[in-house]
Amino acid sequence: MKALVTGGAGFIGSHIVEGLVGRGWRVVVVDNLSSGERENIPPGAEFRQLDITTNQLIPLLKREKSDVVFHLAAHTSVTNSMRNPVSDAQANIIGGLNLIQGCMECGTRKVIYASSGGAVYGESLSIPVDEGHSINPYSAYGISKYTVESYLRMFSAQGELGHTVLRLPNVYGPRQKPTGEAGVVAIFAYKMLRREQPVIFGDGTKTRDYVYVSDIVQGALAAAERGDGAVYNLGTGRETSDREVFDAVALAAGFKEPPVYEEVRPGEIYRTALDASRAREGLGWEATVTFEEGVARTVEYLKNRL
C-alpha cells in the first residue's frame, strides 16, 4: 500500500509517517517546511518539498498515485487566523480543495483528514462533546477546518472520493514545537526546563482534552482501513485545565515557580472535551496513554534535546 502524507514533516504528521513505514507502507511526505522539519521525517519515507496551494500539487498526486492520502498540512494558529483570515483560508481551504481535486483526478481511494475537535464545535453546550454537537466555530481557523470537511462530505456523497474525518483534541508529545501559541505542554516544558516563566492565558480554568501523539497515530492508521464516510472525535472525554497542565509539567520538570496570568487570546473557547464513543465503535480506538505519563515522556524528550 502507498500513502501520501501532507504536513508529514510536522509534529503529528511525522509520527503518522513513522507508523505507516513501520507497517510496511510506501510513504511519500509532502511538506513546504514552513513549520515542519526535514529531520522529523523517518528513514524509509520519500520527501517532496511542495506547498499544497500551488499548481504543482495535482501533477505530483498524479505521479505518485497513492492509495490513501493523510491530510495534515495546515495553518494551525487560532490567533493568526483572526488577524489574517484570508491567509488562513488560502492555506487551509484553498490548499485542502486543491488536494481534494487532485485526489479525485488521480484515483485516490481515500483521504483521511485531520480536523479540529475544539475549533469546529465552538463553545460546548455539553461536555464531553459528541459528533452530533452543533457546529459553531469561534475562529477563522475553525471555519476553515470545517469547510474542508464539508467539501469532502459533498464529493463523497457523489461517489467521487472516499474519506474519513478525524476531529483531533489537543495533541502533545515529542517533536511538538515549544514556540508559538499551540502545544501548551511543549511550551510550558521548554520554558520550565530553561527556568523561564510560562504564561497562562486566562485565569487557569480554561480546559482542553489532551491526547498523546502515539494514540492519535493509532486512530489515523485505523482510519486507513475503516470508518469510510464518517466523522470521529479522538479524545479522552476528560477536561484538563490550564492550571492542571502547568502543575503536571512543573512536577515533571522540577519547576517551583507559580504561574503568571495574562488575558485570554481572541478566538479561544473556554471549555471542551471530546466524546470518542463513536471512534471506539467504528475504529476500535481509545486513548491509552495517561496525561501524567505523556507529560513525563514529553518533558524527558525536551530535556534530552536541550
Q: Which residues contact 277 (CB under 8 A, 6 or more apart)?
A: 130
CA angle 248, 254, 256 (to 5 degrees): 85
With 0-12 CB in 10 A as exposed, 13-18 as middle and 19+ as buried, what is 92?
Answer: buried
Radius of gyration of the chain (CA): 18
CA-CA distance, 145 to 88, in Å (whole number)? 10
Which grid cell sits at 108? 485516490
Quick one: which of 182, 208, 198 has its CA closest to 291?
Answer: 208
Amino acid in the structure at residue 83: R
Interhelix angle 11-22/213-223, nearest 10 degrees: 60
Which of 141, 190, 210, 232 is the catalytic position? Answer: 141
| Annotated catalytic residue 210 | no
- Shortest CA distance to 77 belongs to which of 288, 301, 268? 268
Give the residue numbers marked as catalytic.
Answer: 141
